[in-house]
Amino acid sequence: MSLDADTVRRVASLARIRMEPAELSRMEAELNGILGWVEQLQAVPTEGVEPMAGGGAVSLRLREDAVADGGRPEAVLANAPDREGPYFGVPKVVE
């Protein structure tokens, strides 16, 4: 499978990274290099193999459904690039 320029543009858009045409075409070549290399996995027979999703134990533990932390609006907002009162500031979303 080889990526064309349109697909690279679409992936950049999905990834929310603005890319100029020169960067897109460099990215196209690099991504095709990497994807061409990982293509060798298709040769591995994996029928009936359960995919390994995590890095450790198969089942995750459960905990009480109770509030463990919170109630610290100032700490949460302390690093906000733009703040309006107790809210994060962003450009207007709804007209």
Tell me which residues touch other proteins (CB under 8 A).
1, 3, 7-8, 11-12, 14-19, 27, 30-31, 33-35, 37-38, 40-42, 44, 46, 49-57, 60-61, 63, 72, 75-76, 78-82, 88, 90-93
Distances (CA, A) of 5 to 23, 26, 39, 43: 11, 10, 19, 27
The C-alpha atoms of residue 27 and residue 63 are separated, in whole angstroms, by 43
Rounded to the nearest whole angstrom, what is the least distance from the CB of residue 74 to other proteins in the complex? 9
Rounded to the nearest whole angstrom, what is the least distance from the CB of residue 58 to other proteins in the complex? 11
Q: Is 62 helix (H, G, I), strand (E, B) or coil?
A: coil
Contact 72, 86 (CB under 8 A): no
Rounded to the nearest whole angstrom, what is the least distance from the CB of residue 89 to other proteins in the complex? 9
